[in-house]
Amino acid sequence: MHSIICSLVFDLLIGVFVSYMIWNTKKFTVIKFMMDLTSLSDRLKFTVEWMMGFPYGFKPNKELDNFLGGCMISLLDGWKAGS
């Protein structure tokens, strides 16, 4: 019983400490997170555009390729604009 209480108190203290650190650095954390999302969406958009360009002659259906690629690019642009 004593070890369960110690474990609970230790978990609570760690949680409070982590929350305190996030709260004090939240501005930096949010800015870093948004920069990572922007970078990720740019890389994904580049990859989709590359895939739409018939890499290695793989895509035989050009209309479907353009439709799906355009949908993905629109989705990524909306995600980037919303963040």
Using a cut of 0.75, tell me whether the model's pTM lies above it.
no
Other Cβ atoms closer than 10 A to 20: 10
Question: Can you give the pLDDT of all 83 residues of the chain as single tens digits?
Answer: 677 788 888 888 888 888 777 777 766 666 677 677 777 778 888 888 888 877 776 767 788 888 888 898 898 888 777 75
Other Cβ atoms closer than 10 A to 41: 18
State how far the Cα of 45 lies from the Cα of 81, in Å rounded to an integer. 13
Q: What is the model's pLDDT at position 83?
A: 57
